[in-house]
Amino acid sequence: MRNDVIARLAAANPVPAPAPVRERLPVRRVAVAAIICAAIAVPAVAFGGRLAGALGISNEGSTVPVTSVLPGQSQLDQALQDMHVGSTMQLLGTLNGVNFYAARTGSGHFCFAIDHVAAQYEKGVLCDLNEDNFPSADVQAITFPRGLQGIAADGVATVEFQDASGNVLDSAVVTNNLFVSDKRFEQGQAAYLVTKDAAGNVTSKRTLP
């Protein structure tokens, strides 16, 4: 009887299999997804335009204290500290209501934070911890993986998410190295991040996690 009870309870499991992801994701989750994104391995290729010690893009922004970047978001603030972002970041500007901040860590990795100023949870931190990180010949844009929200290298005019078959899922115009789109995707939906120059030529194509 008692073992039957456990079998009966197991049979009444309200979530018997791993659950599908919800369609609309609260963006506190982005921080985690972003951390995973940073784990992509990219080949180390020299990138001539990169400036040591600087962001490596034309938009250098204005310096702000890191404590003002994501006020009230203790977990994300802690993530910035864990990533060894220093005491300041560069405010690169605001695009479609999203503030963009960026910094290089002491070890030279590129980190950026976004803050949808009008939304409670639309905030996130992403660091590229690869050996040859943004901006480089292979890494001409860096974005959160669930939606086009990120920073592009000089010379990139548009960015696209493509599915595994190469179909364009979403695209965004780059303004002052920044891009934002409202569309969000499930993990795995977007397979590639593609960058294009002003003439529409593909300048890079990266596999997304």
Partner 1 sequence: MTDAQWMQRFDHLYSEHADAVRAYVRRRAPEDVVDDVVADVFLVCWRKLDDVPAQALPWLYSVAHKTLANERRRRLRRAHVPEDVSHEPEPVGDSALAAAFAELTDADREVLRLVAWEGLSLSQAGRVLKCSPVACRVRYHRAKSRLASRLAAASSFRPEPRGVTR
- Interacting residues with partner 1 (CB under 8 A): 1-2, 5-6, 8-15, 17-19, 21-22, 25-26, 28-29, 31-32, 35-36, 38-39, 75, 78-79, 82, 107, 109, 121, 129-131, 209
Rounded to whole angstroms, how far apart are CA atoms 103 and 120?
Answer: 23
Rounded to whole angstroms, how far apart are CA atoms 173 and 91?
Answer: 19
Q: Which lies closer to partner 1 via its Cβ, residue 9 or residue 199? A: 9
Structure tokens, 70: 């994501």
**Distance of alpha carbon 42 from the chain centroid:** 16
Rounded to whole angstroms, how far apart are CA atoms 44 and 59?
Answer: 24
Q: Which lies closer to partner 1 via its Cβ, residue 71 or residue 209? A: 209
Q: Which lies closer to partner 1 via its Cβ, residue 84 or residue 202? A: 84
Contact 208, 37 (CB under 8 A): yes
Shortest Cβ 30–partner 1 spacing (Å): 8
Shortest Cβ 100–partner 1 spacing (Å): 21
Q: Which lies closer to partner 1 via its Cβ, residue 5 or residue 199? A: 5
Shortest Cβ 197–partner 1 spacing (Å): 30
Shortest Cβ 128–partner 1 spacing (Å): 10
**Distance of alpha carbon 28 from the chain centroid:** 12
Residue for token pair 């010690």: 53
